Amino acid sequence: MRFIGQAALIAGAIVLGACGGGQKNAATTTDTTSAAPAPAAAASESAATPAAGGAATTASAGAAITGKTWEVKEIGDEKGYRYEPATLTIKQGDGVKFTMVSGGPHNVAFDSTTIPAGATAQLTANMPNQMAPLQSNFMMNPGDAETISFAKVPKGVYPFHCVPHLALGMKGTITVQ
Ligand SMILES: [Cu+2]
């Protein structure tokens, strides 16, 4: 079980890394607020100098985890349905690995209206497997896991919940510092 989880994590990191490295210059193509596509030279400059406004949060490529990966368990038992821990404070660039322990299926879902402004595009890109926008696939069996990168997302509070068990109070909060 432990090896399976680690293999999945490594595979996820490789996929995220490959996307993040290869598509950097394409990241602004979905930003339709710009009057014209930026030439390659301008793209290089913006990569070297952090943007002052919110434009940098528009992205189509997943950003690889550069910091620590935190562990959250998904549990459903006689005490109820919950994430453990349900409250996390992490750094921008960290990742969170959600692992199914019992009582599934569980998943991890965010609401674009409750996460920080401008976070939706990058967080969507950072979630490896989604059955709907900002909703991870179901984790059916013990040991199934999904790792979500919080690299390049805006700092702030990210409430999340389990779609099948929201009514039963299975939810949590990740604060990105
Ligand atoms: Cu659940």
Q: Letter for the amino acid at 151? A: A
How far, in Å, is the centroid of ligand 1 from the Cα of 116?
23
Render pLDDT for 139-149 as a digit per residue (tens, 0 to 9). 999 999 999 99
Tokens 């909060």 appear where? 173
Task: Choose among 9, 91, 30, 169: nearest CA to 1.
Answer: 9
Average the pLDDT over 8-24 and give the result: 41
Whether 59 has a pLDDT exceeding 80, the answer reads no
Q: Report the domain count for the chain.
A: 1
Residue 57 pLDDT class (50, 70, 90 cuts): very low
What pLDDT is stored for residue 60 in this prediction? 64
How far, in Å, is the centroid of ligand 1 from the Cα of 51?
38
How far, in Å, is the centroid of ligand 1 from the Cα of 105?
6
CATH number at residue 166: 2.60.40.420
Give φ, ψ of 92 to 5 degrees. -55, 130
Tokens 């969170």 appear where? 96
Q: Which domain holds residue 139?
A: 1-177
Contact status, residue 163 vs residue 135, Cβ threshold 8 Å: yes
Please tell me whether residue 116 adopts helix, strand or coil conformation.
coil
**What whole-number distance in Å separates Cα of residue 156 and Cα of residue 177?**
7
Render pLDDT for 69-93 as a digit per residue (tens, 0 to 9). 999 999 999 999 999 999 999 999 9
First-to-final CA distance of the chain:
32
Whether 6 has a pLDDT exceeding 50, the answer reads no
Beta bridge partners of 80: 77
How far, in Å, is the centroid of ligand 1 from the Cα of 81?
6
